[in-house]
């Protein structure tokens, strides 16, 4: 329950723009903080002066209603603190949700005319009924006022639930000073609203990553954070690949697999890493097969030259290398148009199979198939060779 | 040597190191039926709170007691997890600072000190120092406590009239 001081003393301008306006801002801020920090919180507002001690809005969680009631408040007359606290207590007693903790926040800007004793009795009564009290001491300050209010709060206080804040007139707005006090931060250890408001006021929203307040725009903040992480992850993955590649003995492959790795990394495929790993042993296989195939064919100088050429080419593009090899084989063997010869080239087959999605050349069934095809090719080759010597014999 | 345990009247236990309370025949200790999440006590001293007087083990410890804070009155609200019938109550406290006038209200939710005297109590006990010392539960007006959902205990003053009221133990006996 918030008690507003709207007495004549609030016309003074020592808090900008006027005491009353500063108070109103602070009240708005507190209402917002309380309703945001817990959806079950309710806040009520009442005046201590003006037309008299009266309740403007009974405790409600509707922030709009609360803010609306602050409009058109008149400043005048004298504040009656004792009566106001009693009325506040009554308003709290008749709250709808009996499980809520009772708390009164009083803005005391005018001088306090009561005795310390009277105030202490009031405080005791509040404590007896388990009502906490927060006091914002601002505006008029004479010698005794801070003391009296301190006595009141200490009479009410049980286990640190009640607080008092003295705000001197000056540069800082009343609301800003209050933001850092326990009145705002409350018992729950701070609400997001208060914390972010404080940060915004103090640093101009530079306290957050990416300069976006997660409270204000959570989706944007999340998107920014995700893209940051992706960026960070990419060079790390590439570095990891490079580390793995350097561990393989084939230096030729290092650069090609690197480029390969980069290309596959760019694709958003989840199998990228797995594919890379598979391709490396296959490329070992490929070159080995190429070497074997070539050694089996009748040696020719062109083949050796092509070999060197192809070793270079393979550094750039394994497919290109295979194509070159194919053409070399064309030159050496007569029946290259035969498809069986194509299948005989195991490396070519594996490269084709690689490009086919869903086919894993390391799969035993596929390997068997390849072996049988290769065996067929072998037979044909043997026949060729036997033919040739026969030819030669002839 | 006739049986000293007659049916309805509880028998005071012999003074032993740990005096045992003779639970009235047919009644159980209702401490198991208390809904602890809703137990409240107004004007209690936070370091000497209601748990010290109500809960098992706490209440039998002589060093733990419930004390009042600002003045001598206490308002204790005890909800139960089911409807019970209240038979008797045992309140133990020190001779001087123990409670004197105790008013019991059945099924009155969330009373405050201001409206506690607006309603007639379901029962009212005037305790003497003897009551506080012995282990004999005081029988209540059974008819008034036939379906008790919650019990409010209002302690109006204490034996010596001091500012602080102390209670060692509150035990309730009845049946479901």
pLDDT at A375: 60
- Residue of B70, B109, B110 with shortest CB distance to A128: B70
pLDDT at A212: 56
Is the CB of B163 inside 8 Å of chain A's CB atoms? no
> Are the beta carbons of A140 and A218 closer than 8 angstroms?
no
Exposed, middle or buried by CB within 10 Å (0-12, 13-18, 19+), for A160? Answer: exposed
Is the CB of A96 inside 8 Å of chain B's CB atoms? no
Choose among B77, B89, B84: nearest CA to B39.
Answer: B77
Give dist(CA A20, CA A79) in Å, integer. 13
Give dist(CA A133, CA A157) in Å, integer. 8
Phi, psi angles (nearest 5°) of residue A183:
-65, -40
Among chain A residues, the shortest Cα distance to B73 is held by A128
From edge to edge, which strands make up the β-sheet containing A54-60? A54-60, A43-47, A2-4, A102-108, A131-137, A163-166
pLDDT at B129: 87
pLDDT at A42: 92
Answer whether B112 sits within 8 Å of A127, measured CB to CB: no
Q: How many CB atoms lie within 10 A of CB A134?
A: 24
Answer whether A128 sits within 8 Å of B46, measured CB to CB: no
Please spell the DSSP secondary structure of B101-139, one letter per residue.
Answer: EEEEEES--S--TTTTTTS--SEEEE--HHHHHS-PPEE
> Are the beta carbons of A309 and A316 closer than 8 angstroms?
no
Phi, psi angles (nearest 5°) of residue A205:
60, 25
ipTM confidence: 0.77
SS3 assignment, position B83: strand
Answer whether A127 sits within 8 Å of B73, measured CB to CB: no
Pick out chain B residues at pLDDT < 50: 1-18
Answer whether A158 sits within 8 Å of B69, measured CB to CB: yes
Mean pLDDT by runs of 10 across the 394 residues of chain A is: 92 86 90 89 93 92 90 89 93 88 92 91 90 91 89 89 88 82 63 48 48 69 84 80 62 46 44 46 62 60 47 54 64 50 61 65 66 60 50 50
Over residues A330-349, the pLDDT tens digits come to 555 544 445 555 555 666 66
CA distance B140 to chain A (A): 28
Is the CB of B73 inside 8 Å of chain A's CB atoms? yes
Query: How does DSSP classify residue B159?
Result: S
pLDDT at B110: 82
- Residue of A93, A98, A127 with shortest CB distance to B69: A127
Which residues of chain B have a CB within 8 Å of the CB of A158? 46, 69
B166 to each of B38, B64, B83, B130, how far by Cα in Å?
22, 10, 29, 15
Which residues of chain B have a CB within 8 Å of the CB of A98? 109-110
CA distance A114 to chain B (A): 20
pLDDT at A357: 62
Among chain B residues, the shortest Cα distance to A95 is held by B110
pLDDT at A256: 46
> Are the beta carbons of A373 and A343 closer than 8 angstroms?
yes
Answer whether B42 sits within 8 Å of A98, measured CB to CB: no
Answer whether B42 sits within 8 Å of A128, measured CB to CB: yes
Answer whether B43 sits within 8 Å of A125, measured CB to CB: no
Among chain A residues, the shortest Cα distance to B38 is held by A99
- Among residues 153-172 of chain A, which lie with CB inside 8 Å of chain B? 158-159
CA distance B70 to chain A (A): 6
Is the CB of A124 inside 8 Å of chain B's CB atoms? yes
pLDDT at A140: 85
- Residue of A93, A127, A159 with shortest CB distance to B70: A127
Answer whether B112 sits within 8 Å of A93, measured CB to CB: yes
- Among residues 52-71 of chain B, which lie with CB inside 8 Å of chain A? 69-71
Which residues of chain A have a CB within 8 Å of the CB of B48? none
Over residues A262-293, the pLDDT tens digits come to 444 444 444 444 444 444 455 566 666 666 66
Answer whether A93 sits within 8 Å of B73, measured CB to CB: no
CA distance B8 to chain A (A): 39
CA distance B83 to chain A (A): 21
Best probe of the B interface among A130, A133, A160, by most B CBs < 10 A, is A130
Name the strand (E) or helix (H) holding B80. Answer: strand B74-92
- Residue of A125, A129, A158 with shortest CB distance to B46: A158
Phi, psi angles (nearest 5°) of residue B103:
-115, 135
CA distance B69 to chain A (A): 7
Choose among A139, A155, A151, A77: nearest CA to A114.
Answer: A151
Is the CB of B42 inside 8 Å of chain A's CB atoms? yes
pLDDT at A209: 56
CA distance A133 to chain B (A): 16
Is the CB of B37 inside 8 Å of chain A's CB atoms? no
Q: How many interface pairs between A and B have CB atoms less than 8 angstroms apart?
A: 26
Which residues of chain B have a CB within 8 Å of the CB of A159? 46
Best probe of the A interface among B70, B79, B109, B114, by most A CBs < 10 A, is B70
Give dist(CA A227, CA A222) in Å, integer. 9
């Amino acid at each position: 329950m918030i008690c507003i001081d709207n007495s004549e003393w609030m016309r003074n301008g020592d808090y900008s723009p006027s005491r009353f306006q500063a108070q109103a801002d602070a009240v708005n801020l507190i209402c917002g903080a309380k309703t945001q920090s817990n959806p079950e919180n309710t806040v009520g507002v009442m005046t201590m002066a003006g037309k008299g001690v009266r309740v403007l809005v009974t405790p409600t969680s509707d922030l709009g209603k609360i803010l609306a009631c602050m409009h058109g408040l008149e400043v005048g007359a004298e504040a009656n603190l004792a009566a106001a606290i009693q009325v506040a207590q009554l308003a709290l007693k008749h709250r709808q949700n009996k499980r809520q903790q009772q708390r009164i926040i009083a803005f005391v800007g005018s001088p306090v005319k009561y005795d310390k004793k009277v105030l202490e009795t009031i405080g005791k009564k509040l404590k007896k009924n388990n009502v906490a009290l927060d006091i914002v001491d601002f505006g008029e300050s004479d010698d005794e006022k801070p003391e009296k209010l301190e006595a009141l709060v200490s009479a009410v206080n049980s286990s640190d639930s009640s607080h008092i804040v003295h705000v001197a007139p000056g540069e800082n707005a009343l609301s800003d000073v209050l933001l850092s006090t326990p009145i705002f931060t409350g018992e729950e250890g701070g609400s997001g609203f208060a914390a972010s408001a404080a940060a915004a006021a103090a640093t101009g929203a530079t306290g957050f990553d990416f300069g976006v307040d997660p409270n204000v725009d959570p989706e944007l903040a999340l998107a920014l954070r995700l893209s940051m992480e992706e960026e960070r992850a990419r060079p790390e993955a590439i570095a990891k690949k490079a580390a793995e590649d350097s561990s393989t003995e084939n230096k030729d492959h290092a650069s090609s697999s690197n480029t390969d790795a980069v290309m596959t990394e760019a694709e958003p495929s989840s199998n990228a890493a797995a594919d890379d790993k598979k391709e490396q042993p296959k490329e070992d296989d490929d070159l080995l097969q190429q070497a074997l195939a070539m050694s089996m064919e009748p040696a020719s100088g062109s083949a050796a030259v092509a070999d060197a050429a192809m070793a270079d080419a393979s550094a750039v593009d394994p497919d290109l290398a295979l194509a070159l090899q194919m053409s070399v084989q064309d030159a050496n063997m007569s029946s290259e148009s035969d498809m069986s010869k194509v299948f005989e080239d195991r490396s070519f087959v594996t490269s084709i199979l690689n490009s086919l999605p869903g086919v894993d050349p390391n799969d035993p069934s596929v390997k068997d198939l390849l072996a049988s095809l290769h065996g067929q090719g072998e037979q044909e080759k043997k026949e060729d060779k036997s033919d040739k010597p026969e030819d030669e014999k002839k | 040597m006739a049986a000293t345990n007659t049916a309805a009247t509880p028998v005071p236990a012999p003074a032993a190191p740990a005096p045992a309370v003779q639970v009235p025949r047919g009644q159980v200790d209702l401490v198991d039926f208390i809904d602890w999440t809703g137990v409240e006590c107004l004007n209690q001293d936070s370091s000497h709170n209601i748990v010290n007087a109500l809960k098992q083990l706490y209440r039998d410890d002589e060093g733990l007691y419930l004390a009042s804070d600002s003045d001598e009155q206490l308002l204790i609200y005890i909800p139960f997890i089911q409807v019970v019938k209240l038979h008797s109550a045992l309140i133990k406290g020190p001779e001087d600072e123990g409670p004197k006038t105790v008013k019991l209200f059945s099924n009155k939710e969330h009373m405050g000190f201001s409206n506690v005297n607006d309603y007639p109590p379901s029962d009212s006990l005037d305790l003497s120092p003897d009551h506080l010392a012995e282990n004999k539960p005081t029988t209540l007006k059974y008819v008034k406590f036939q379906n008790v959902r919650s019990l409010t205990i209002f302690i109006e003053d204490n034996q010596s009239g001091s500012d602080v009221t102390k209670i060692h133990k509150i035990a309730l006996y009845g049946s479901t």
